[in-house]
Structure 1
Amino acid sequence: MWRQKRRKLLLEQQELYSIVGRPNVFVYGELRTATENFSSNNLLGEGGYGSVYKGKLADGRVVAVKQLSETSHQGKQQFAAEIETISRVQHRNLVKLYGCCLEGNKPLLVYEYLENGSLDKALFGNGKLNLDWPTRFEICLGIARGLAYLHEESSIRVVHRDIKASNVLLDANLNPKISDFGLAKLYDDKKTHVSTKVAGTFGYLAPEYAMRGHMTEKVDVFAFGVVILETLAGRPNFDNTLDEDKVYILEWVWQLYEENHPLDMLDPKLAEFNSDEVLRAIHVALLCTQGSPHQRPSMSRAVSILAGDVEVGQVANKPSYITEWQIKGGNTSSFMSSNVSGQSGVAPRSASHASSQFLGSVIEEGR
């Protein structure tokens, strides 16, 4: 019996290595010791994929150990994809993978530990982090640079597919690093798009991807635009505790923009800010969340606009997915509904119930 289990494990390891090549491999006992036997005191977070624990290796490195649950939606292929993708890309705004462990029935990924946790907790949680305007602006720029690298600069072209505030981690100096490459896809930039099964998180999905499964790098661009707005406003993209006209962040910001009061969307905690930088960030967010992927900028252009290297005028085209719902007396919950990683978990209003049901039926991966 023991030999059969051992043989099965070796076959699984060989299968995985054939997919991704041999990464740096940790011994299970080493990681068990590092995390104090995966103590609840070291638990950093958990979700459908499993749990993440803080640990300290024998060489003194502090790490984050991602332990996949046996029932995780992230199977071997996604596990392999995460290792393959992040092992082949290196950038100051991407989380660093140290290696993995394939012993036992719960595969482990070992990442650098980032002291200040996820952006969503910093923005929406009750933590003690004070994200002033310069910090928030640099966070937006850092995320943009990381995505520009993935899309245009790395040796492989990568669509992350799950850009959201909870997948942006902050280091000791509050520099942002994009994490969680379990849904990432390599793509051929010579193709117009790739049709694929929809995966991702409510609230960040581009319309063409959510409705038709059409995937290009512009899927990440859309999600980045939503993250900008969340970072500026200090609130999630869906919050049903707010007044009705503020529940969906894109509808609310577009209303303020058309009324020439875009600065009213800023987090009240921001007592001081650079209005030129804020307006540039809002413009970029509205460009990035245009309904047509062709109307969204590349991430390198988004970086240039944010940095002030390229001028941007008024954003004239209000996305049709917002306008159509407003005409029908509904809302944009098709794309701006609650996500599964800590935002308000209340069902969207009934006016768009059918559309919400549709998305609920197709978004299965990554939950």
Structure 2
Amino acid sequence: MGKFQWDKHHESLSLFLYLVIFFSYQLPSSAYTLPDKYFINCGSNIAVNVSFQTFVGDSNSDVSFTKQNSFVTDNRQASETPPLYQTARVFRKQSSYEFKINTNGTYLVRLHFSNSTDVSDAIFNVSASGFLLLHDFTVQKIGSSTITKEFILSIPIGKFLIYFVPQESSFAFINAIEVFPAPPDFISDEPTQISRTGNSNDYKGLLSQALQTIHRINVGGPTLTPDNDTLLRTWLPDDSYLTNSGIAKNSRVLSGRPNYDIVTEFIAPDLVYKTSKEMASNDSNITWSYDVTRDARHLIRVHFCDVISISLNILSFFLYINSNFSLNINPYQKVNDFATPFFMDFVVDSDDSGFITISIGPDSNSFYQNAFLNGVEIMEMMGKSDLVPVTHKSNNMYPFIIVGVVLGGLVLICIFGGLLFIGLRRRKSKHVETSEWSPLPIFKGSSHGNSKTPSREGTITVSPVPNLNLGLRIPLDEIQLATNNFDKKLQIGKGGFGTVYQGTLRNGFKVAVKRSQPGSGQGLPEFQTEIMVLSKIRHRHLVSLIGYCDERLEMILVYELMEKGTLRDHLYNAKLPCLSWKQRLDICIGAARGLHYLHKGASGGIIHRDVKSTNILLDENLVAKVADFGLSRSGPPDQSHVSTGIKGTFGYLDPEYFKTQQLTEKSDVYSFGVVLLEVLCARPAINPALPREQVNLAEWGMRCKDKGLLDQIVDPSIRDQINPNSLRKFAETTEKCLQEDACDRPGMGDVAWDLEYALQLQQTAVVQEPHEDSASNASGMLSSHVFQRLPSTNIEFEGDDMSIINEDESDSVPSASGVFSQLKMDEAR
């Protein structure tokens, strides 16, 4: 009987435990509590309490670390030094801390360093899980007395090692380490990605990379220390990042607690969501500028919580990131109640300026003309690195296993040695090898296509680009040789497609090599389009495609090198010589001719679809050449295309194309009109930092022209150079390009003609009346020798502008025989 009663109690207890376990899985992420491990006080055998968290001395903890070649530095005599930073573990050689991870997931890893004189000479690397977290790190250049570096990593079950590697004769040190799991759903694996052109799509695989926190900002609020934060984070005020503090004000502070319906307090604490910045006036956008790593990819998280509206559904506004992306924010499409927090994540590429701007501005269709922002977090995305130590494997193996491994290794070495000898005998060119080049993996299949090409190893690899011009294919060996194995010192740019390197072919011809991330498959349609378009056209005002490589799922494009860079660089980079008005006109004329050839001269007609100042490149003589045809569409002239997805760059987009999704060559004409204004005013197409009416260059420029104020917005550096008649003709041409109805815009042939005319007006000394500068009166105003130089309205352009030029007939591009004289190899055909 007693046994039976015990069984009943046992069953009840089992059911209770089952229900506890079951419901623990059903609880929302708010059930998360901050774990108690790992919080390590390095170089110590005592525990230290910081922000209600206990940091255990590493000597007494259950983590292991390299004890050889390590010692402790003690700074306890300095009373002003926080207890956590009074001791440090110092390493003279490569060393590591090892943590036992019991659960797969996303982890927060924080490294704490003191900036004391004892360790100011240290220079070292820190790496973990194949990521180089800190490179040549030193505390000498950091002004604060303590430094915390935070990373977010996906860590599997098993051993997690953090390596400290001193550089040369220096040493490494660490004061404290935090490693603990983040709350559930802390980081989404598929945020929204914003391309350099302003287009948005889903980014997949975020959690396969490491994230380093660069900025964590409490917008409209005070500094928050780990004492005030649910995850022991520090949040800084936003005021020092504002580009114009006079147009922003702090919102009222929410008196109660935010309604955590779709996020938890672990995403951001109450004090972030209870405060915000809002507009001080309803006619100017608020802009923050954040310094970031140049040419790197970043995750941007923006936090919102409406504490400024007086009722529901009366407020919407715009969020701007950099100058090419905008998004309408309607809080009540995300949440159902007042003071309910939400956040949005964006993957954004930084340019070579080293800054990312975030702006908010009013929506003219909103009942309440205002905008707000509560918080910003910016994290640099870090890929795997070759500069990290290899995890040491245990050597506790039986002797016969060791013998077997050694013998097996010798057999494999002999086999590979024989294959390598045979391969070298068959090779016609020398393969370049350096310690920095990562061997390319051999892929056995691909979803991109079914065209198979033999690899150098004799296996079959699948080309991502079937049915393309094989005569332009360049072996990977040659591209490695030309770029010194993609040496970072030869990197000259980075874009949405990939990294661009300067290179030199065997015959001495200088090239630009654009390389996508190997095997990623991203940008494949643009890669194919670029090759198909440029392989069938040649023109002195279009960048020439020298060749491409699709070997082993690489996607590499090789162009002629444009030594002077982009038109945009010369308009905004103060370090470059200022372009004169005549030079600017020549550049615009060249670009217009190139686009006209695309529209009318190429087989079937081609619409560029992404005309902007960064896609107009300049050679050593400042000759303009249109580039980047990845978004191009081809088809019969004057035929519109229905687009299911709007492509282009915000600020340059044809409004009619945007509304109707009907793409024609006149869409390029509109974009070129924006470029003309950009050339005249030397300012971006979109600048959220300016007052509202000046944000969009096209709208602002045409408004100034209508008011007769166009001369006041001209780039001051050239204002005194411009002949008024030349300016008038240029403005007239620009206005025609920017007509709202596409049918009212001229063709690119007429645009080029008008720009030629503006150039002639600049060069002639004839004084004319304002009504006399139209193209129809040209013959009456110019002297005969000038008139003979003007292109006729009855012809398109001279022969080399209109015909499809063979490579060996054009004097503006290298001949095929010259470029490929040393590239013709069996494996490349």
TM over 0.5: yes
Say if 1:118 and 1:169, in contact at 8 Å, map to a contact too: yes
Deviation per residue, 1:3-28 (Å, 9 max, x gap): 9469985287667342x332422111
One-letter amino acid of the structure 2 residue matched with residue 83 of structure 1 = I
> 1:296/1:72 Cα in 2 relative to 1: closer, same or farther (>3 Å)?
farther
Distance 2:492 2:687 in 1: 25
The counterpart of 1:311, out of the listed 753, 774, 781, is 774
2:652 aligns with 204
Deviation per residue, 1:228-252 (Å, 9 max, x gap): 1001111111123334443221222
1:286 aligns with 735
> 1:269/1:106 Cα in 2 relative to 1: closer, same or farther (>3 Å)?
same
2:566 aligns with 118
2:397 aligns with none
2:143 aligns with none
The counterpart of 2:536, out of the listed 85, 88, 97, is 88
Say if 1:283 and 1:312, in contact at 8 Å, map to a contact too: no
Structure 1 stretch displaced more, 5-14 or 297-306: 5-14
Distance 2:594 2:586 in 1: 12
Q: CA deviation at 1:296?
A: 0.7
Say if 2:443 and 2:462, in contact at 8 Å, map to a contact too: no
1:25 aligns with 473
Distance 1:266 1:84 in 2: 39
Distance 1:72 1:3 in 2: 13
Q: Determine helix, strand or coil for the equivalent of 1:98.
A: strand
Q: Determine helix, strand or coil for the equivalent of 2:547.
A: strand
> 1:191/1:239 Cα in 2 relative to 1: closer, same or farther (>3 Å)?
closer
The counterpart of 2:744, out of the listed 295, 311, 316, is 295
Q: Determine helix, strand or coil for the equivalent of 1:16.
A: coil
Deviation per residue, 1:9-57 (Å, 9 max, x gap): 5287667342x33242211111112111111111111122111110011
Q: CA deviation at 1:266?
A: 1.1
Q: Determine helix, strand or coil for the equivalent of 1:139.
A: helix
2:678 aligns with 230
Distance 1:72 1:39 in 2: 22
Distance 1:163 1:210 in 2: 15
Match runs of 1:1-367 below 5 Å: 4=444, 10=453, 16-18=465-467, 20-69=468-517, 70-71=519-520, 73-75=522-524, 77-189=525-637, 191-270=639-718, 271-308=720-757, 311=774
Distance 1:305 1:33 in 2: 46
Q: TM-score, normalised by structure 1?
A: 0.78
Q: CA deviation at 1:140?
A: 1.0
Distance 2:490 2:636 in 1: 40
2:148 aligns with none
Give structure 2 stretches of 5+ with no counterpart.
Answer: 1-440, 454-459, 759-772, 777-829
Say if 2:608 and 2:632, in contact at 8 Å, map to a contact too: yes
Q: Determine helix, strand or coil for the equivalent of 1:104.
A: helix
One-letter amino acid of the structure 1 residue matched with residue 506 of structure 2 = A
> 1:311/1:73 Cα in 2 relative to 1: closer, same or farther (>3 Å)?
farther
Deviation per residue, 1:268-301 (Å, 9 max, x gap): 1114122222222221111111111101111111
Deviation per residue, 1:81-126 (Å, 9 max, x gap): 1101011111111001111111133211110001100111111223
Greater length-normalized contact order (CA 8 Å, ≥ 6 residues apart): 1
Distance 1:193 1:135 in 2: 35
Give structure 1 stretches of 5+ with no counterpart.
Answer: 314-367
Say if 1:51 and 1:66, in contact at 8 Å, map to a contact too: yes
Cα RMSD for the two superposed structures: 2.4
> 1:283/1:60 Cα in 2 relative to 1: closer, same or farther (>3 Å)?
same
Structure 1 stretch displaced more, 235-244 or 153-162: 235-244
Distance 1:38 1:109 in 2: 13
Say if 1:55 and 1:65, in contact at 8 Å, map to a contact too: yes
Distance 2:529 2:640 in 1: 22
Say if 1:97 and 1:111, in contact at 8 Å, map to a contact too: yes
Say if 2:673 and 2:735, in contact at 8 Å, map to a contact too: yes
Say if 1:288 and 1:297, in contact at 8 Å, map to a contact too: yes
One-letter amino acid of the structure 1 residue matched with residue 605 of structure 2 = R
Q: CA deviation at 1:210?
A: 1.7
Q: CA deviation at 1:194?
A: 3.7
Deviation per residue, 1:134-183 (Å, 9 max, x gap): 00011111111111111112233000001111111000111110001111
Distance 1:107 1:251 in 2: 39
Deviation per residue, 1:41-81 (Å, 9 max, x gap): 11111122111110011110000001022446411x32111
Say if 1:95 and 1:178, in contact at 8 Å, map to a contact too: yes
One-letter amino acid of the structure 2 residue matched with residue 139 of structure 1 = I
2:329 aligns with none
Structure with the larger strand share: 2
Pair member with larger Rg: 2
Distance 2:690 2:634 in 1: 39
Q: Determine helix, strand or coil for the equivalent of 1:281.
A: helix
> 1:275/1:241 Cα in 2 relative to 1: closer, same or farther (>3 Å)?
same
> 1:3/1:92 Cα in 2 relative to 1: closer, same or farther (>3 Å)?
closer
Tell me how many residue pairs correspond in the alignment: 311
Say if 1:82 and 1:182, in contact at 8 Å, map to a contact too: yes
Q: Determine helix, strand or coil for the equivalent of 1:225.
A: helix
One-letter amino acid of the structure 2 residue matched with residue 296 of structure 1 = R
Distance 2:465 2:722 in 1: 49
> 1:279/1:190 Cα in 2 relative to 1: closer, same or farther (>3 Å)?
closer
Distance 2:661 2:569 in 1: 30
Q: TM-score, normalised by structure 2?
A: 0.36
Q: CA deviation at 1:187?
A: 1.7
Say if 1:195 and 1:215, in contact at 8 Å, map to a contact too: yes
